[in-house]
Structures are given as C-alpha cells and as structure tokens.
C-alpha cells in the first residue's frame, strides 16, 4: 500500500545502483542543460543510455528517472541546424519559425567540429553532416548541402560552391572568380540553377533527404543587398531581379532552400 503524506516521499525506490536507458543511445549529452548533465552524473564522452548511476543512499530513483524523462523530452523537441554559415542560419530561423521545435545552431551547442565534406554529390555531403552532427549532439539534426550549378562551367562550382577558389575568399571574391571564368568561355546569358539537398537524421537512426532547385541565369552585373553567397549574380528573369534583390519572404518561398525546407518540414510533421 502506498504511504501518504511525508512518508510517501521516503517510500519511493532508492538504492546504491539503478540503471535506466532511453529509447536511443546517444554519444554524448552536450546538448542537455548543464544542470541536467550534472544530475545525470555523466560527461560528454559517455553515452547517456549506457551510464550506470550510483545514487546516494538518500537520493530518490524516482527523481533520477524524472531527469531521464526530461532529457528524453528535450531530445524530442530540439532540432539542430547543422551549419556554421550565419547566412543559412538566418534563413532557416525564418523558414522554421512555425515548427513546434526549439531550433538550435552548432554555435549554441558549442560544437566547433567541422565535418569533412568528402561527398561528390550534394546528397552525400548533406547526409555526412546530418549523421555526424546528430551523433555529436544526440538530437534530431537538419543539415543541407547546396550550391550553384552553371551549365557553361559544366556544373561548377557545384558541391565546392562554399569553398570555391580556396580558403580565405569572401563571397564577393568567389562570385568574381566565377564571372571571370564565365567570360572566358562564352557570351551571356549563362543558364544556371541553385540546388539544395536537406538531410534529416532522426533520433531512431533513420536518415531521409529531400531536394529542390531554382532555375535562373548568371548576370555579370552583381546587385542586391539581401541574401549571401552567389545571390547577387543569380538573375531571375520572371522577377527581373537577382536573388539578392528580392525580399527575404519572397526568396524563402521561391528559392532552392525554401522549397527543400518545405519538403523537409513535411517529413518532420510525419515523424512527430
């Protein structure tokens, strides 16, 4: 029979050793609140689902279980956007504002590790980033790989868009390099497209990808203050403007990233 009043607190199960496991084993708990990590008595190199907890004789196993339940809820409600690119983060904060998730970035979780993008396709790189950062953070992870494909350059810069020309170049340096290469090939117009692949690494180990594009042309007259990367030279004939000239809310609706994000959000709705 369950005791009542103050006695009920002393009757909850206690002991020297109690082991709990979550629905999924995660490599570390960096994303958990600091006080929760401390209370769970685990560090960032341990797997929370495998930690054996030796409780003080007066500590309630029920209390410890509540911490596990809170952490599991944290996992279910947290979405990591796996990028250090501040331009992408700003766009995704707008695109995902209506989701029932706490959206966090790598910087917020103090993850400084850079995943080597060794894939030869956008999908391969997106999956690499999603799975590796999901293992690091232990939460649902959203990663994308996107870039500019120019037909006159046989698809370049492609998967190398963000690092085209080597390290240390600014966005302006990169699109000026692209323009110099184009002018050596043929006269405009130069057909091109932005492509984006989003990979979602789910807590159960499942990984799914979605993809979309936006078609346009490259202009040798950069203009526009919105966006980032190659947006100032990506011309949209239907808008008579570059992607850097259209308002952010319009860009989010028509861009490769915006359309891929919509598909990914539909996957998230099914998962929840």
Q: CA 73 to CA 101: how far, in whole Å?
A: 11
Q: Kind of pairing, strands 190-201 and 78-81?
A: unpaired
Of the candidates 77, 80, 70, which has an alpha carbon nearest to the alpha carbon of residue 40? 70
Comparing CA positions, the residue from 108, 115, 100 lying closest to residue 265 is 100
Residues forming beta bridges with residue 242, ordered by sequence position: 235
Check whether the bond before 157 is cis (ω within 30° of 0): yes
Q: Catalytic: 56?
A: no
Query: How far apart, in whole angstroms, are the C-alpha atoms of residue 2 and residue 47?
Result: 34
Choose the catalytic residue: 144, 145, 212, 231: 145
59, 16 contact by CB (below 8 A): no
- The CB-side HSE value for 76 (13 A sphere, CA atoms) comes to 11
The candidate with the shortest Cα–Cα distance to 74, out of 34, 17, 121, is 34
Q: Is 22 exposed, middle or buried (0-12, 13-18, 19+ CB in 10 A)?
A: middle
Using CA atoms, how far apart are residues 219 and 263, in angstroms rounded to an integer? 29
Query: Rounded distance, CA 45 to CA 42, Å?
Result: 8
Active site residues: 145
């Amino acid at each position: 029979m369950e005791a009542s009043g103050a006695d009920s607190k002393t009757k909850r199960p206690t002991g020297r050793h109690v082991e709990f496991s979550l629905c999924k084993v995660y490599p570390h708990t960096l994303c958990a609140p600091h006080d929760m990590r401390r209370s769970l008595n685990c560090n960032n190199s341990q797997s929370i689902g495998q930690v054996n907890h030796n409780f003080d004789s007066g500590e309630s196993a029920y209390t410890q279980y509540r911490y596990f339940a809170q952490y599991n809820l944290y996992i279910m409600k947290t979405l990591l956007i796996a990028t250090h690119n501040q331009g992408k983060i700003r766009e995704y904060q707008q695109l995902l504002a209506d989701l029932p998730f706490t959206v966090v970035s790598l910087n917020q979780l103090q993850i400084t590790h850079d995943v080597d993008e060794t894939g030869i396709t956008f999908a391969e790189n997106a999956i690499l980033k999603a799975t590796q950062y999901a293992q690091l953070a232990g939460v649902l992870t959203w990663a994308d790989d996107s870039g500019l494909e120019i037909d006159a350059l046989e698809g370049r810069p492609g998967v190398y868009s963000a690092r085209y020309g080597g390290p240390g170049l600014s966005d302006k340096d990169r699109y000026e390099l692209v323009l110099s290469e184009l002018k050596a090939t043929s006269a405009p117009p130069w057909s091109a497209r932005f492509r984006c692949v989003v990979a979602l690494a789910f807590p159960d180990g499942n990984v799914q990808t979605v993809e979309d594009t936006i078609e346009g042309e490259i202009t040798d007259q950069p203009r526009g203050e919105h966006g980032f990367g190659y947006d100032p030279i990506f011309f949209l004939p239907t808008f008579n403007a570059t992607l850097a000239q259209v308002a952010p809310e319009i860009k989010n609706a028509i861009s490769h990233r915006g359309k891929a994000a919509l598909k990914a959000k539909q996957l998230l709705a099914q998962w929840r």
